[in-house]
Amino acid sequence: MILIAVKIAILCMSIAILGLIYRLIKGPSMPDRIVALDAIGINLVAIVALVSIFLDTNAFLEVILLLGILSFIGTVAFSKYLEKGVALERDRDL
Amino acid sequence: MKTNDLILQTTTKVVLFIIILFSFHIFFAGHYTPGGGFVGGLLTSGAIILLMLAFDMKTVSLILPVNYIYMAATGLLFAGGTAAGALLFNVPLLTHAFGHVDLPILGDTALHTATIFDLGVFLVVVGVTMTIIQTIGEDE
């Protein structure tokens, strides 16, 4: 019973990722693409969690936190590049 | 125009410790669960990169006055020392030892010299990643 529900949920997340990939390719501006990438990362977290339920293992639980952290750092880096033109500043007070 | 990064900086101050604790957890749990020195080192350098993104490179080098090239060299020394230390006990190169030690607070703990080798991997990964990022970031 739970496996059928997990299968349906994985299908729904895949459809959501397909919609986000459409926005990633089509998105008229750069911020659209960055938000789409961030949301794809969060959806991947959901898919990893569902797959680890499906495979009945807890070996992938580190991957979930890791994907969340990497998605956050990547989004911050892209946003800062768009905002200021550089990702890493040498000296802020200049 | 001077921008204000208050939300990013406050979030970084909270999230940084969670990332570093998680990377240490991944490093120490590498023997029994997925993880190890490589992923832990990459996650630690990710935390330092987040600090560099929220602040600037001069501030980060004031907070962490570390020469990352020396850090990579220290890691190589740890790994090489663990490999060569086996020769002192008349066993082949890279033979690891294992034993139970009674530590004051933790009690009976299983210690393995592979942890020192893994610490070398950790230091090399952090050192090399941060050297690459710093060298590219300081380029004008």
- More reliable by pLDDT, B112 or B24: B24
Rounded to two decimals, the ipTM of the complex is: 0.86
Q: Average pLDDT, whole number, for chain B?
A: 89
Q: Quote the tokens at residue B127.
A: 């050192």
Which residues does chain B have within 8 Å of residue A76's beta carbon, measured at their own beta carbons? Answer: 8, 50, 53-54
Band (pLDDT 50/70/90 cuts) for residue B85 is confident
What pLDDT is recorded for position B2? 67
Chain A nearest CA to B94, separation (Å) = 28
CA–CA distance, A61 with B112 (Å, rounded to integer): 25
**Residue A94 near chain B (CB below 8 Å):** no
A73 to B137: CB separation less than 8 angstroms, yes or no = no
Residue B73 scores a pLDDT above 70: yes
Q: Is it the case that residue B122 has pLDDT exceeding 60?
A: yes
Residue written as token pair 């970031």:
B137
pLDDT over 80 at A82, yes or no: yes
Cβ of A89 under 8 Å from any chain B Cβ? yes
Domain boundaries, chain A: 1-93
Please tell me which residue, B41 or B56, carries the higher pLDDT value.
Answer: B41
pLDDT at A12: 96
* Interface test mutation site (partner B, options A57, A58, A61, A62, max chain B beta carbons within 10 A): A62
Per-position DSSP letters for A11-80, written without gaps between them: HHHHHHHHHHHHHHHH-SSHHHHHHHHHHHHHHHHHHHHHHHHHTT-STTHHHHHHHHHHHHHHHHHHHH
B10 chain-A contacts, CB cut-off 8 A: none
Asked whether the CA dihedral A88, A75, A18, A51 is positive or negative, the reply is positive
Of A83 and A53, more confident: A53
Which neighbouring-strand residues pair with B98? B112
pLDDT over 90 (residue B1) = no
Residue A47 has pLDDT above 90, yes or no: yes
A48: chain B residues, CB-CB within 8 Å: none
